[in-house]
Structure 1
């Protein structure tokens, strides 16, 4: 029986298309033992969270059986926000977050993206969380990884020397950690 993986795309006009290569890399590295679900999320510009929180919740609840969660960039931050603010009835085997922005500041447009204080206390217990970030990421500053390290000390952090925002479209480190579960 295949292990189920839900991958949440990054943001932007071409976010879904840009991440198809990431997802293909992951599926190839994981092999047939894993069923990778990669739904396209739509953005509602009038919603403070772009309507992603509701869509993520629906996709998690639709997953058959236990699920592994992964996200890239905006998708990773929204996945983390969802898990810290909503009860989940599924068994989550692990959460893998790639090039995750840490939203801070007082701009109105960030209000629906920011995590609540004490986020570590709000996340489901007993689930391994993994973060991956390249030092040469030119979209999400590498310093955001340190902010997550301060706020989620229970997580595992993988600092990658190079690969940019898309990790050179090769998710070897992510796949290795997923297989270790």
Structure 2
């Protein structure tokens, strides 16, 4: 039996060699023999709306008994909001957040429907393992977002990648290694 992973991609274009596609391809290449990776198309990635992304999560998670979740950038923000506000029946083995912004943290990061409720982190206790990954010199989402999540969530695992990548087009071996260890 293969482990199930649901990967929620970043905002913006998701065509070949765009957005999260390089990271997804790498993960499928590295984990495909042991894991089944679901990568749902999220509605309007160039102008995401939380209510529409929530519907896709409802659909996918309602059909699974146990899952590993990976959220990249906007996908990570979306998963944190969803998991902290919704009653999820699915057993979440692990949650991996990669290069995710905290909406509302800074003037440039204002997307009100993705803002997290104060105290959101208190509603994540049902998740067995939470891990944060971020590039040290991410040119899209500054490292201060990682630092803030780290203080609030107190993850089981956190990794700063010595890189300036946000998209991880060539993959993220540290993430794959961590998933294999779950």
- TM-score (normalised: structure 2): 0.88
Correspondence list, 1:60-71, <5 A:
60-63=61-64, 65-71=65-71
SS of residue in 2 equivalent to 1:60: helix
User: What is the match of residue 11 of structure 1?
Assistant: 11
For residues 48 and 11 of structure 2, the distance between their equivalents in structure 1, rounded to whole angstroms, comes to 14
* Native 8 Å contact 2:7 2:37 kept in 1: yes
Higher helix share: 1
Residue 128 in structure 1 maps to residue 129 in structure 2:
yes
Alignment of 1:61-140 (within 5 A): 61-63=62-64, 65-104=65-104, 110-140=111-141
Structure 2: runs of 5+ lacking an equivalent: none
Equivalenced residue count is 179
| Residues 166, 88 of structure 1: alpha-carbon distance in 2 compared, 3 angstrom cutoff | same
| CA deviation vs aligned residue, 1:21-61 (integer Å, no higher than 9, x gap) | 21110111223110111111112999852621221121211
Rounded to whole Å, the distance in 2 between the matches of 1:114 and 1:41 is 18
Q: In the TM superposition, what is the alpha-carbon distance from 1:62 to its structure 2 partner?
A: 2.5
Name the CA shift for 1:31/1:57 in 2 (closer, same or farther; >3 Å): same
CA distance in 1, matches of 2:124, 2:101: 17
Distance of 1:127 and 1:150 partners within structure 2: 18
RMSD: 2.4
Q: What runs of 5+ residues in structure 1 fail to find an aligned partner?
A: none
Structure 1 residue 167: deviation in Å? 2.5
Q: Which residue of 1 aligns with 2:33?
A: 32
The 1:45–1:5 alpha-carbon spacing in structure 2 relative to 1, beyond 3 Å, is closer
Residue 9 of structure 1: CA displacement?
Answer: 0.8
